[in-house]
Structure 1
Amino acid sequence: MFRSVWLILTIFSTIYISYSKTLTVCKEKCQYSSIKEAISFAENGDTLVIKKGIYKEGNIIVYKSIKILGEGFPVLDGEKKYEIMTVKADNVEIKGLVFQNSGKSYIEDIAALKMESVKNCIVENNKFFNNFWSIYLAKSKECIIRNNYIKGPAVKRKLAEKGVTETAFGNGIHLWHCRFITIENNYISNHRDGIYFEFVKDSVIIGNESENNIRYGLHFMFSHRDVYINNTFRYNGAGVAVMYTKHVYMERNRFEYNWGPATFGLLLKDITDSYIYHNIFYKNTTGMFSDNTVRTVIEENDFIENGWAIRIFSNSTDNLITHNNFIENTFNVVTNSFHNPNRYTENYWSDYKGIDLNKDGIGDIPYRPVSLFGYFTENYPQSIILTRSFFIYLLDLVEKIFPMLIPETLVDNKPLMREFRW
């Protein structure tokens, strides 16, 4: 029985392969000089090979399950007027193309490449320059966006000079109401958000580099059970925002050089039951900002040379902060509460001055990560001008001896004597 089924499937696949064909598009001496014309003659399973050149064809609509392959990186130019390509079929592969100069609209979400209500599509090894939205997926699933180079039109310094707002720019990779999507090894810069997820579930963001974006390197909204691993977020308006979300797994990402008056490496806003593991927060204004974060584990991360390592509001509860390294931050932890509804244990604090008489690697004296000055700056921001003054040193010393203002229960009872190696 199994052999008969295998034979039937083999015959049908052979017939399918034998009937699929390759259509070539180029500017001269080819089957087709137009991509739209080639698509009209193609059938499901065919391959379009587009030769090197510049193609200005308005919006190219792909309504058949075909492969579109570029040879020598042909350029599809939207002339700053059109959406460049819209995919409306399943099982489409797009590789080796350059998308540039898409149109721009505040009414429609015009993109260089838009994919609507599709599944099992692949966008790989393409280049995107000077587009409003670069890649836009809506109501799609089981797609892969991999190894693309995406650079938008925005330069933050020039924006500041011209007074242009972030709403004048779209996102690099934008997903809306999607599921089972893989975003892998892409470079994204100079957009509003590098990567944007809204109502996206069960998806993976892995190995991407998102930098110099106006707002966020990565932005989550109402997106559950997603994973992001081994990504780098640097020099963005803010690194990553995870908002109104549950069951998010964040591992081995780098949040670095995200500087500004209201800037952070990672913003957690209304998230629950998540895991933050093996990440590096380096030289951010605020490493991690937590607002209404509940039942989340923050474990084995490095917070190095940030302004504030962790700013955590009193509505963040039942979280575990353990085995992290806090190294040379201006403030390790600040909060706006006299109480501590979270657990801090076995972290390394570079400014810890305790001793370890029994040589078990754990300090004999508990460590209080919230300083009096940190409390003041959180509640009275203007006091930051007193940073590192002798007066503040005396206040902190008195507060450690006779704690009155800082949360008495916010304490690491088992501070590590050496950095935790992970």
Structure 2
Amino acid sequence: MAMTANVAQWAVAALLGAAGCGTAIAAQIDVAPSSDLQSVLNGASDGDIVVLAPGSYSGPIRIERKLALIGQSGAIVLGHGEGSVITVAAPDATVRGLLVRGSGRDPQAMDSGIFLTQTAERSLIESNTIEGNLYGVNVYGARGSRVAGNTIEGLRGIRLNEAGNGVRVWNAPDVVVDGNTIRYGRDGIFSIASTKDRFINNRFEKVRFAVHYMYTDDSEISGNYSSGNHGGYAIMYSKRLIIRGNVSDRDRDFGLLFNYANYATIEGNLVAGGKLADISADFDGADDEKSMLPKTEAPAARAATGPDKCVFIYNSNKGFFRDNWFEHCGIGVHFTAGSEGNEITGNAFIANRNQVKYVGTRNLDWSKSGRGNYWSDNPAFDLDGDGIADTAYRPNDLVDRVLWTAPSAKVLINSPAVQVLRWAQNQFPALYPGGVIDSRPLIAPPPRPHSASVQ
């Protein structure tokens, strides 16, 4: 049976590569839908290329050879609601170009569309459509594997906590997850107890968190796009990460969250809010921890910006926040729980309802080497034209602290007493409470991150 051009090119390259290495020339095995696919795989040899013609093939199947399973357009591997649809147990295997459906729903067994066992090192899962499974791709200790260019859609119409993740990585160093589109399910990518992984250029929609990191060190999250999810990038109990050039576009609760995340470099990211009425975080089957404003709410309330927080930093130390853009959030940065030694410079804080919420009494200067951040509500002047405002910027005052502890006091915000208090603080800075100060604020915003244009 004739192959598509892409499959033919791939097969030729594999055959030439095998010949150049002095190994036996791989066989190409063409398979029709009427065949017993598991029997074909059992009879194949290392290096073989198994090509599936268009049609439906019965799963579950298990790959225990170093072979490539390649689907022509229209090839479907269909599970029957029990276990994982495709299990890869051999190293250096490839699964490419398939539609994969129908896993079981056992969360303890982590039933998946494609399950990579610990022996499936350096596997390639590429250009598949993986839909209607509990987990999409489960990289269960398969170090050096690559999950690239797939479309992964999780289960719909079930409780969020009962769903699996689009890609799950456990104890699998040197894994690359690149260029996938992930929708529905719990988290887009969930990584735990791993190291030296790269999650790059993925798109996430209608999930809880786009990326959820737990105990994953020395890794990278770059060039990803998260839109309309409960939260963007949740980084927990991890260290020495690079988080660069990502977008959080109208995610509901936060764009970036750091919880016990140390020695991270966070640069060139964009967190952009929007009207609550525009945010689609209430998607099919999701059990919402916090409801959106009801449609009967007044128009002014519906027009409030989101997410709640552009960035939430909790007990995270020695981070470098540079050249990020945070706009139209309820809080630009919520900074708490003893986070120390962080460098926050060159960032733009644009039209957030509260630019900073700092829970602490220590004085923190958010400038470094003569350069601070841009604050859209800073009315300062630059008389000497050096690009730095002539006076320091203080995002919070005593009134803010009162409002944090007693929100009902906001009814007094325009009272003469409050206005006098704020005037007195401006005249006598010693009255300001301890907190964040930007001693060298920028007079103009830095360039909007070019890799983070909202799509």
TM bracket (short chain): 0.7 to 0.9
Partner of 2:259: 269
SS class of match (2:445): coil
Report the alpha carbon displacement of residue 199 of structure 1 after superposing the two structures with TM: 1.2
Residue 328 to residue 37, structure 1, CA distance change in 2 (3 Å) = same
Partner of 1:192: 186
- Give the counterpart of 1:218 among 192, 203, 211: 211
Distance (whole Å) between structure 2 residues aligned to residue 281 and residue 372 of structure 1: 28
| Structure 2, gaps ≥5 residues long | 1-16, 274-306, 450-455
Does the 8 Å CA contact 2:403/2:410 hold for their aligned counterparts?
Answer: no
Partner of 2:73: 72
After TM superposition, the score normalised by the length of structure 1 is 0.87
Range with bigger deviation, 332-341 or 94-103: 332-341
Q: How far does the alpha carbon of each residue in 1:65-89 deviate from its partner, in whole angstroms, 9 at most, with x for none? A: 0000000131112232331011000
- Give the counterpart of 2:223 among 222, 230, 233: 230
Distance (whole Å) between structure 2 residues aligned to residue 331 and residue 306 of structure 1: 8
Partner of 1:16: 23
After TM superposition, the score normalised by the length of structure 2 is 0.81
Partner of 1:375: 401
SS class of match (1:355): coil
Partner of 2:380: 354
Q: How far does the alpha carbon of each residue in 1:24-63 deviate from its partner, in whole angstroms, 9 at most, with x for none? A: 11125xxxx1210110110000000011112223x21100
Residue 14 to residue 362, structure 1, CA distance change in 2 (3 Å) = closer
- Give the counterpart of 2:177 among 164, 175, 183: 183
Distance (whole Å) between structure 2 residues aligned to residue 303 and residue 358 of structure 1: 27
Does the 8 Å CA contact 2:366/2:373 hold for their aligned counterparts?
Answer: no
Cα RMSD, aligned residues only: 2.4
Does the 8 Å CA contact 1:314/1:340 hold for their aligned counterparts?
Answer: no
Report the alpha carbon displacement of residue 236 of structure 1 after superposing the two structures with TM: 1.2
How many residues get paired? 395
Q: How far does the alpha carbon of each residue in 1:266-307 deviate from its partner, in whole angstroms, 9 at most, with x for none? A: 110001111000000101221000001101110000011111
Q: How far does the alpha carbon of each residue in 1:86-133 deviate from its partner, in whole angstroms, 9 at most, with x for none? A: 100001011000111211013311111000112111000000111100
Does the 8 Å CA contact 1:314/1:341 hold for their aligned counterparts?
Answer: no
Partner of 1:154: 156
Aligned AA (1:255): S
Range with bigger deviation, 39-48 or 383-392: 383-392
Residue 378 to residue 290, structure 1, CA distance change in 2 (3 Å) = farther
Partner of 1:83: 84
Aligned AA (1:324): N
Distance (whole Å) between structure 1 residues aligned to residue 44 and residue 82 of structure 2: 27
Does the 8 Å CA contact 1:336/1:378 hold for their aligned counterparts?
Answer: no
Partner of 1:335: 358
SS class of match (2:254): coil
Matched, 1:250 2:243: yes
Does the 8 Å CA contact 1:251/1:277 hold for their aligned counterparts?
Answer: yes
SS class of match (2:349): strand
Partner of 1:298: 321
Distance (whole Å) between structure 1 residues aligned to residue 55 and residue 115 of structure 2: 22
Does the 8 Å CA contact 2:37/2:58 hold for their aligned counterparts?
Answer: no
Distance (whole Å) between structure 2 residues aligned to residue 11 and residue 370 of structure 1: 66
Q: How far does the alpha carbon of each residue in 1:335-364 deviate from its partner, in whole angstroms, 9 at most, with x for none? A: 111223563452111111111121111111
Residue 396 to residue 68, structure 1, CA distance change in 2 (3 Å) = farther
Report the alpha carbon displacement of residue 375 of structure 1 after superposing the two structures with TM: 3.0
Partner of 1:144: 146
Does the 8 Å CA contact 1:298/1:321 hold for their aligned counterparts?
Answer: yes
Aligned AA (1:219): H
Matched, 1:241 2:239: no
Partner of 1:6: none
Residue 400 to residue 212, structure 1, CA distance change in 2 (3 Å) = farther
- Give the counterpart of 2:444 among 389, 409, 418: 418
Residue 317 to residue 26, structure 1, CA distance change in 2 (3 Å) = same
Residue 377 to residue 88, structure 1, CA distance change in 2 (3 Å) = farther
Distance (whole Å) between structure 2 residues aligned to residue 137 and residue 62 of structure 1: 15
Partner of 2:202: 208
Q: How does 1:399-418 map to 2 (within 5 A)?
A: 399-402=425-428, 407-418=433-444
Aligned AA (1:16): T
Does the 8 Å CA contact 1:272/1:293 hold for their aligned counterparts?
Answer: yes
Does the 8 Å CA contact 2:338/2:360 hold for their aligned counterparts?
Answer: no
Partner of 1:25: 31
Partner of 1:104: 105
Distance (whole Å) between structure 2 residues aligned to residue 286 and residue 194 of structure 1: 20
Does the 8 Å CA contact 1:317/1:341 hold for their aligned counterparts?
Answer: no
Partner of 1:5: none
